[in-house]
Amino acid sequence: MFESIALALAKALAAYLFKYYVMATPIVKIEGAPGWFYKESPSEICVFTHEQGGYDAVDALKGKSNTLMAEKIDGILQVAVYDNYRELKDPKEKEFVKAFMKDAELPLFITKTMKFRNIVYDKDIRTAFSKACIEKNELLSYQEERLEKLKYSLSHERAGNAFDELEESVK
C-alpha cells in the first residue's frame, strides 16, 4: 500500500518541479535590483532576498535565505500533495502522507545543499541582494530517499503492531 503512494508522491513532486514550477514563474524586474534578481533557473529552485543596512546585511541574507527556502520547499510539497492526495479516505494512507509532510531534517538538507549563486551589496542604496538555489535533482533525490525511509519505517511499525495484536489474541 505505501509503495504505491510513495511512488505516486515522488512522481507528483517531480512533475510539479519540472513542469509547472518553471512555467508558472513570472519574470520580475525591480528597479535598483541587479538584473539576475528574481530570474529563475530551469534546473534549480531559487529564493531571492534583500536586506538593507551596512555590510553586515550580507550575513543577514544567509539566514533569511534558509528560512525562505524551507518555506518554498514546504509550499511545493503542499501543492504536490494537495493536487494528488486531497481525496484520500484510508487513515493509514493519510497518516503516510502527513508523515511525509513533516520533515525535521529539511533545515539541515538546505544548509548542506543550498548554494548562493549571487550576492551583491550596493553601497549607494545600502542594500544587499542574493540568489540562493538548490538543484531540482538534489531535492527530488532527497525526497525520494525520505519516502523510502518513511515507507520502511511505517511498514515495520505496522508489522510490529500486527504481531502484538496476534500475541494478544493468543493469550
Give the Cα separation of 67 and 73 in Å (integer).
10
Find the length of the chain.
171
Residue pair 40/25 in contact (Cβ under 8 Å)? The answer is yes
Instruction: Answer yes or no: pTM beyond 0.85.
Output: no
Q: What pLDDT does residue 163 have?
A: 45
Closest CA to 132 of 57, 54, 67: 67
SS3 state at 23: helix
- The string of DSSP letters for 73-93 reads HHHHHHHHHHHHHTT---HHH
- The tens digit of pLDDT for each residue in 34-77 reads 989 988 888 899 999 999 999 899 999 999 999 999 999 998 88
The CA–CA distances, whole Å, from 28 to 25, 39, 43, 143 equal: 9, 7, 18, 29
Reported as a pLDDT band with limits 50, 70 and 90, residue 134 is very high
Residue pair 128/48 in contact (Cβ under 8 Å)? The answer is no
One-letter identity of residue 67 = T
Q: Which of 46-55, 77-86, 154-163 has the lowest mean pLDDT?
A: 154-163
Residue pair 84/6 in contact (Cβ under 8 Å)? The answer is no
Q: What pLDDT does residue 123 have?
A: 92
Domain boundaries, given as residue ranges, for the chain? 1-153
Q: Which of 36-50, 66-80, 97-111, 155-169 has the lowest mean pLDDT?
A: 155-169
Tell me the CA end-to-end span of the chain in Å, nearest whole number: 30
Instruction: Kindly report the average pLDDT of the chain as a whole number.
Output: 81
C-alpha cell at 23: 512555467
